[in-house]
Amino acid sequence: MTELARAHGAPVLAARLRAAPEDFFVEELPGFEASGAGEHLLLTVEKRGMNTAFAARRIAAWAGVDESAIGYAGLKDRHAVTRQRFTVWLPKKIAPDLEALQSDDLRVLEHAWHARKLPRGALAGNRFVLVLRDVEGEHAAIETRLQAIASQGVPNYFGEQRFGRGGGNVQQAVAMFAGRRVKREERAMLLSAARSELFNRVLDARVAAGSWDAALEGEVWMLDGSRSVFGPEPHTDALQARLEAFDIHPTGPLWGAGELRSVGVAREVELEALEGDTATRLRNGLERAGLAQERRALRLRPEGLAWDWRGEDALELRFSLPPGCYATTVLRELGDVVDAATA
């Protein structure tokens, strides 16, 4: 990630993130309301220093059910304070004592009955409150950069979480495609890492060329707030107006089998960025794995970006992001932010 091109210029700050779990607060924005009836108990919980998988195991043990009876929409990191929803399948519609689940590191905030298991991706986005500490840099320059991010957005890179410690997931994916046997859950993780690596390469090329938030000939477009795509089609003043209004975004490939949708200059840029031995191995492996060609928006604009200084060297940031987007991609446009939880 440190080698990927930045859209807004040289770093304007250096800082530490997650000096304590409370410095990284993330809350799922629900994609639906509870139905009020059904066999699934829908829990909204707040947890501290606990990842989603561990919380799911604890909830399953509390309910006396198999882990497969637990549903959740997204994965949340351990080194944070997080709010998210879980469903527990209870066919007899008898909920265990909620007080028995409460603890210092996990609290149930809301509960209701719901008709279905909570599937992955069933959220409207995530709201973040982040505190950067030991901030070095001129306040005026930092605020100017934040204003630029708020108005122009940032490149929609996949974050470091996709690639594992030291970025090792990509090489593991290459080994898997070469025949190394892996567990089913590890396979899904490595397929995602391979796709993310290829997308980031394309986006890096577009950022370096200054076209990550502009139209190339042969562009494929994505509607803001959805995964719907259209094009290529001739560029018009109407398309340009929609681009400037953040109603649509240029896209890059999530690699898989099938024909690359982009044409012309956009296609040439994508294929050139994906040359080389490693990229070729990743592309071939993804195609053999049966994943289909998809697209992802090249840019991301944090919603409601606001900030406050907590003294001279602590900066609080507040914003929301769509599903599948990373707070770290916003932070890297500010400068060099060290994750104290993993450093």
| CA Rg value for the chain | 21
| Whole-number Å distance between alpha carbons of 294 and 42 | 32
Q: Which of 23, 66, 77, 104 is catalytic?
A: 77
Helices (H) and strands (E) counted in the chain, each on its own, are: 8, 16
Q: Note if 77 is an active site residue.
A: yes
Report how far Cα 317 is from the mean position of its chain's Cα atoms: 17
- Please give the helix or strand (H or E) that residue 275 lies within, else none: none
Q: What is the dihedral of CA 17, 21, 26, 27, to 10 degrees?
A: -170
Burial class (CB in 10 A: 0-12, 13-18, 19+), 213: buried
At 130, is the secondary structure helix, strand, or coil? strand
Please state the length of the chain: 343
Catalytic residues: 77
